[in-house]
Structure 1
Amino acid sequence: MTAEGCLEKGLFRFWDVSMERKMSALDGQQLEPEEIADVCRGRAGKSSVDFRSWFSDRPLLDFDPLARRKASRWESSLRTVIFAFSGQVASRDEIRHGRQVIDCLSPQRRKAIEPADVLGLLGPLLIGFRMSRRGEFVQEANRHRDMTAVLQRLLDPGPLDIEIPLCAHRAPRSTEPRRLATNPDDGSARRALALVRLIADNSRVGFVRATLRQQTATERASACMFPSVFLDYLERGRLGELIDTMNQHEYTVRRLAADYSDHRVTVVLEPLDELSLAAEDDLASEHGEDWWRTPDARFTDLLERPAAPRSTALLDAMRHVERFMPELGRIAADSGQPPASNASAEKKAEHWFRRRAATTATGKALFEVAFYRRWAIRTRAANSLGLGFDRDWSRYQRDAWLTAYGDDPDQSIPLLYARRNPHPDASTTLRRLSYRQFWLPGRAESAA
């Protein structure tokens, strides 16, 4: 049965995206609306949630998808599926964000949308991605028009690519400073991948390919972590341990991706280098081969009119770099002779690091903007969408995306960043959920 057929019949593909994933045995199963209600009852029976005020025995799909009539039915049905999928209760304010997303749909999409689209697509989007009504960029929140752009693409039956860059993850400072986490947390990673599947499986898309982009143990091993992290391994003579850890990360994420793949939704792991090298090619064309050595004294010369998205992106990226990477420009650079082709992975990674130790704060800021811009260019060319599961969601990332779509800061872009909570828990409120930075079960720190 096609995805579109499932939606027409009012069927849902279930994936447990709750904190504890106690109903993961149902993952991938196709459920009738009445069975979704049963899941909701089951969750309520295992918690202190009193759902009687918003749950009823009427048919789950018995509501106007545009909420023009009896909006309370629209709200209660949406709250029901959110609770069934996530185990968390959405506040009325969070539900109303969904109304605004629907209101932003094009007239053609508004005419064609079905109740099953509202529950099977909008519901998971509200679970996974925090929203804000403010016009200006809000840290850790998304705009309604961007969620609308993502929703509209998910209503398109054409094949879809989703690209998801990941970052390296540092172990907690309480264990050993400047060391990578040993492995992704299985429960956290599966919760995030289940969210991808929940959205993909209940879309109208015929085939979905979700690509996780991760830094692998190539010569560019240090490119996706704070310089201080790589330097600490280097100074302690433990580069071999770092390479082994990165190889283990790759193996684990590749195995997890395979567990969430089937004939219709393929989840794969690909090296981050492809995207990074494309961004560096852009920089070399615009700023010369030694773009990464751009003197900080030239930073203001690189800015265009202050309101331009590229200028605001570069300014914000520079603040990010200066805050999190103060060691830039203070590490002794040494180009030396490139290692032989048969040299060890450690030798190749060390040579690349020592050569790039001359990277300035300006050079790093240029790369940050170029990276997200290149990701956006690829997304636009493929009519695809981007989902953010890496640690940071800052203004420069969205502004860098905007440069690929135009200079209008109010332009919508098909990019959403997942909820991030440094201290996630299984309490009953939706805001306690976290899907990003899934290397550690509790609070995690990025190494990039």
Structure 2
Amino acid sequence: MKILEFLEKFIAVVCIMAFGGTVLPVLLTGGSVVAADQESSGAMMFFAGIYVLILALIAMRPSLAFRIPLASPAVTFLLVFAFVSSLWSLFPDVTLRRSLAFLFTTVFGIYLALRFTFPEIMRLLVTGLSALMFLSFASVVAMPAVGLDSAQHVGAWKGIFFQKNVTGRMMVWLVLCLLWLDWQREAKRWVTRSLLALALLLIVMSRSGTGLVTSVLVAAALLATGLVRGNIRSFAPTMAIMLVVLILAGTAIASFWYDALYALGRDPTLTGRTVLWDHILGSISERSLLGYGYAAYWYGAYGPGSAFIESWGINSAHNGWLEATLDLGIPGVLVLLGILGRLIFQGFFASRYGASRAEPAWAFAVGCALVAISISESVFLERHSMNWIVLVIGVVRLMELGRRSRYQQALAQSNARHQQQAYANAPAYAGPGRQF
């Protein structure tokens, strides 16, 4: 059994690395790194192998196959809706193919959430993402053509990832998991803190302003959930301080947003994003109800996004909410809002009032990070993406905690009723020498 468990965890780490947004699928299949394409024939064969591994993982635990569709009704709805959107998609075959990739990505996230304990999930994520981090450092030294950006951000360390912002996002998840393990003392501190220093170094060298700011945000989110735990005497001052900090931060951003953008390596157009968003808003106004079909908007030389694909090399909206609207329209966005709301609000209040605060605190930090990143990057409904896997893990674990809490409450109430009935049916004591 130990060998089977080791094999299971090894395959899980391999899948985590495969979904890290790297050039590994292209490198391992002999493709061109310069024109790296996750839908090249070689990359598609690589991911087909990953799908087989995911099926093997589920086959090892057949009971999970029945739990996966019910783990989160909202996530299941998005999966089904992605496939159904092929009925009105601009490119139905593309939507079906990419929906299949989205399915396996989501199923893997649900599998991790259901199969392992939470500390085990954190250690698996840290193992896979740390391996990608070390490979990134190695690529900068041994393969600078791969490890260094030579296009828009010359000299930035992107490692083995497709782009420096992807490097930043993956390191954010590594930082969050390491902080959680260190906080809960689930790993040796010299290991977690050494890895944390290396992850922050890679973020700085990648020049990912979003990654750096989000790393600070997730650390603050974990700290906040620890500070609000306690009685009203500690809760009220902490919330007041947090509110004052938010007001001061909002005022500073509103007053000095221009300088802040340049400090983060951005210009007032957010590197051309405002022009892109203006075009996308026009497209959304034409098909806002159901969108253009999952992952269909940016496909083809004659599609509505072709001008940006050809001239700028852009194949996403660089905004999570706009991308979701293009893919699945208003229904998809509303369901996503519900999922993010669960991560943030249930995560916060469960970490404040729940019996166990560690898992909800992590989910709360994930929700805060995704909201921040989604402003400038498309992080929702992604296939082959750790961003989506982390979201799925967070929401499924919260659902499981809720189910467990309701079960324990029902069990406690049932036991209390049985005790009351037993007490009511017990014969009364009539005193010494008297008959019952």
**TM bracket (short chain):** under 0.3
- The structure where strand makes up a greater share of residues is 1
Scaled by the length of structure 1, the TM-score of the pair is 0.26
Scaled by the length of structure 2, the TM-score of the pair is 0.26
